[in-house]
Amino acid sequence: MTGVNDPVRNPRRAFWGDARFFLGVLLVVASVVGVWLVVSAARQTVPVYAAAHTIVPGEAIAAGDLKVVEVALGPLSGTYLSADGLEEAAVATRTIEAGELVPAAAVGEADAARTTSVVVRSAVDVPASVDAGTVVEVWAAPLREPGAYDEPRVLVADATVVSVTRDESMIGGGAAALELVIPRADVSATLAAMADQSALSIVPSTGAGS
C-alpha cells in the first residue's frame, strides 16, 4: 500500500519528441542551405561583353568592337549586355571605356540615335590629353574680314572625340583634325560655321584632362 507521503512521479518527456528541438534543427539546416545557395550563386559566372576599345556615342557596335568575358554578377547579370545579346545596327548611346563591361542601357538602335559625327579642324593647339572618348566643346569665331574674326562663342557645348589626327609638321605645331560626335541639333550650325570659314577651336570640357 502506497503511503500518502510518497512523492508523485511525473513521467519524463522524451527529448527527441520535443517539437521545439526539431524546429531548431530545421532552422539551422535552412540557414546552412541559404548560405550555400548565396555562395554558389556568387561563384557562378556568365559571359558578357566588354569593350575592346573606347566606343563613343553614336558609334556603330559590331562584334569586333567587343570581347567576351566571364564574370560573376549574381542578380546584376541582366544589367550588362550578354554574349548573345548584340543586335544588328546597334550603336552606343554613351561613351564606353576600353575594358568596361557594356551596360545594356548603353546600347541602342541606330534609327534612334540623336547624334552624328563630323570632322573639324581646330584653329588652335589641341591638348595631348584630348583623345578618343574625351568630352569637348566646339567654339567658333566668325570671320569678319580676311585675318580678322569676331569674338568666339560656344558652337557645340557637348561633343565627344572619336579620333584625333595631329599634324606636327605645321609651323607652330598642334594643328589637328578631329572626328567628333555631336548632337544632330547642332549639325546645321556646325556645317554653316565651317562653310563661312569661321575659326573653330576644340576645348576640353571642364575637368577633362586634369
For the chain, where are the alpha helices, taking DSSP H only? 19-43, 187-195
The structure's pTM equals: 0.61
Q: How far apart are CA 181 and CA 58, in angstroms?
A: 7
* Least confident piece of the model among 2-11, 28-37, 148-157: 2-11
Q: Is the pLDDT of residue 137 over 90?
A: yes
Instruction: Mention every residue, 6+ apart, whose C-beta is less than 8 A from residue 30.
Output: none
108 three-state secondary structure: strand
* C-alpha cell recorded at residue 24: 531548431
Q: What is the pLDDT of residues 173-200, one digit of tens each?
A: 456 899 999 998 999 999 999 999 999 9
Q: How far apart are CA 114 and CA 104, in angstroms?
A: 18
In 10 A of CB 51, how many CB atoms? 21
Q: What is the pLDDT of residues 98-118, one digit of tens each?
A: 999 999 999 988 776 788 889
pLDDT of residue 172: 47
In percent, how much of the chain has pLDDT > 90?
38
pLDDT of residue 94: 87
pLDDT confidence band for 125 (50 / 70 / 90): confident
Q: What does the pLDDT average to over 145-155? A: 90
pLDDT confidence band for 66 (50 / 70 / 90): very high
Higher local confidence (pLDDT), 52 or 22: 52
* Least confident piece of the model among 9-23, 49-63, 106-120: 9-23
Higher local confidence (pLDDT), 171 or 101: 101
> What residue ranges in 79-152 does DSSP mark as E strands?
90-92, 107-109, 115-122, 135-141, 143-145, 148-149
Q: Is the pLDDT of residue 130 over 60?
A: yes
pLDDT confidence band for 210 (50 / 70 / 90): very low
Q: What does the pLDDT average to over 139-159? A: 91
* C-alpha cell recorded at residue 113: 540615335
